[in-house]
Structure 1
Amino acid sequence: MRTLAFAIGLCVATQAGALGRLGSGAENLLNFGKKAADATREMTEEEEIALGRELAARVLGAAPLVEDQELQRYVNRVGMWLALQSERPDLPWRFGVIQSRSVNAFATPGGTVLITAGLYDRLRDESELAGVLGHEIVHIVRKHQLEAIKKAAGRALFSDLAGEAISRSGDQAVRMFGDEVLNAGMNIFASGLDKADEYDADLRGMVIAARGGYNPYGLVGVLQTLDSSGAGNASGMKLMLSTHPNPGDRIERLLDAVGERLEPYSGNPTPGRLYRPAR
């Protein structure tokens, strides 16, 4: 199978090829103005959910779910419990493990979290799974992807508008507003979020794990594994290292920020045993 990064990039390129023809220059400017306004307005929760589901469908088109219903039920059970500890428990949360040897996880607006089989296989216990899922849940709760998509889509729209002001032949092709937003979302999966968003998700994700009865330092354990894997340039680590801050830096920031405040929860017994697929 193609690498997940290449497949996601291919999805973006394919969507970019679905172009509509422009009409008159004046009509185009009006359309751009409407799209620019749409790109910067606040989305309703229903729109957020619909956007996230479309993005998740595109990721699944590149990397389908692992064909193991017991695994998927297990990850959803853990994920749903953690989502209940968040500030947006009523979103239609869905969790899944996808067929990719790359080491990564994805969250889409509105409640969908996907982790790769390559990452899942590196987890040592359920508290580490909770750390990963808690991190991704925070991205959705805090609307990190949604805000990044709006910014990226707005930049693309204004870039196209500038080009139209220079050349109004009527022959230039542009994507509809929906394509701009969807392509921005897919590009974020390949390029990553701002470091500040990742650090925020690390810290708040530990809190969610603790609320759920897990050892909050499970995420630190995952980062330690990734740090040692990255040092050896292990197969599948390229996408993770290109879309997230250095694992060692994340560990240092987490421990500096948390101090000993979560130590009382570090002895929490792991609620369940990590499910191991038969392969």
Structure 2
Amino acid sequence: MVMARYHRFFSLFFPKRWLPFILASLLALGFSLGLAQLSQAQSWLDLLFQGVQVLQLSNLSSGQEVRLGQQINQQLLQQGQVRLARNQPLNRYIDQIGQRLARTSARPDLPYTFQVVNDRNINAFATMGGFVYVNSGLVAAAENEAELASVMAHEIAHISARHAVNRLRDVALSQGLMTAAGLQESTLVRLGVELAFNLPMSREAELEADSLGLRNLIQAGYAPLGMITFMQKLQRRGSAAPEFLSTHPLTNNRILALQRAITPQQARRGEGLDPAAYQAQLQQFR
């Protein structure tokens, strides 16, 4: 029966007392269209089902997002796509910076996890649910702690703005994975793993992450100049652009937007600009 497959689905979103009326109305719709057009009625229902799935995926609770992030993280580690550094002092240092930023982020309620990846490439990325990954190569490339913190603030901003969740929704929709059969959690995890590396963020998402990240950096007590100088450093690399730019396309407009967001007097106001102190800190991890 056409209606039976939708009974459980609609019961998730509507009060039980409404179900007889809703299902009866949908059944009447099918009969009114006639048997010859019954398949069209079913297609309409499938589209409705898909639309509600899109809405449901767009409105994941924080708990659901964290659980998906945990599974994505587990897959990244099990598949060997991420090899974590075993340098515990370095891990503690990155976590200390990350938790400082997390407390002043737009979503301080998430249980953030900051991990150092044993990779010399200059890269960092984030997955949903508060998981941030920082390559050891990025730690070495930063001139000071403010530059390092600026990249981490940018990644936290992607999480705060739910960019990974939105990309997951868009890709699932474009690939036709949202059907009346349902979108399995395993499919969400697989897509999340793929998106962590392969698809660059949109220009709008990057600009939003820059803006939110800069605000977070300042609120956490770091000098905002660090975000600008690190981006300028990446831009100067030109053809030898680091891995970070494959998923975080850098444009001159992003740097100009950051420069317009702060005054020269504000740029150095805060902590983390001392390169000697930063190098002395890193020496402890070698």
TM-score range, shorter chain: 0.7 to 0.9
- Structure 1 residues not aligned, in runs of 5+: 1-28, 165-173
- The counterpart of 2:231, out of the listed 223, 228, 234, is 223
After superposition, the C-alpha distances for 1:90-120 in whole angstroms (9 at most, x for unaligned) are 2101111102233221111111111112222
C-alpha contact (below 8 Å) 1:223/1:251 kept by paired residues: yes
**Deviation string for 1:13-63 (max 9, x for gaps)?**
xxxxxxxxxxxxxxxx89998676434312111110011112222333312
Match of 1:154 in 2: 173
RMSD (Å), alpha carbons: 3.0
Task: Report the more deviating stretch, 199-208 or 50-59.
Answer: 50-59
Task: Determine the C-alpha separation between the residues in 2 that align with 1:269 and 1:259.
Answer: 16
Match of 2:110 in 1: 91
Distance 2:271 2:183 in 1: 51
Q: Is the 8 A contact 2:100 2:220 kept in 1?
A: yes
1:168-190 per-position Cα deviation (integer Å, ceiling 9, x unaligned): xxxxxx99622332233233221
Cα drift, residue 82 of structure 1: 0.8
The number of equivalent residue pairs is: 235
Structure with greater contact order relative to length (CA < 8 Å, sep ≥ 6): 1
Gaps of 5+ in 2: 1-42
Separation in 2, partners of 1:35, 1:50:
23
Structure number with higher helix proportion: 2
| Aligned residue runs from structure 1 range 1-279, under 5 A | 37-41=52-56, 42-60=59-77, 61-157=80-176, 177-189=184-196, 190-229=198-237, 231-233=238-240, 237=242, 239-256=243-260, 258-260=261-263, 263-264=265-266, 266-270=268-272, 273-274=277-278, 275-276=281-282, 278-279=285-286
Relative distance call for 1:131 and 1:255 in structure 2 (3 A) is same
Contact 2:132 2:152 in 1 (8 A): yes
Distance 2:50 2:185 in 1: 9
Q: Is the 8 A contact 2:223 2:268 kept in 1?
A: yes
TM-score by length of 2: 0.72
Taking only the aligned residue pairs, the percentage that are identical comes to 28
Question: Take 1:214 and 1:242, find their aligned partners in 2: how far apart are those partners?
Answer: 26
Normalising to structure 1: TM-score of the pair? Answer: 0.74
In structure 2, C-alpha distance between the alignment counterparts of 1:71 and 1:175, rounded to whole Å: 42
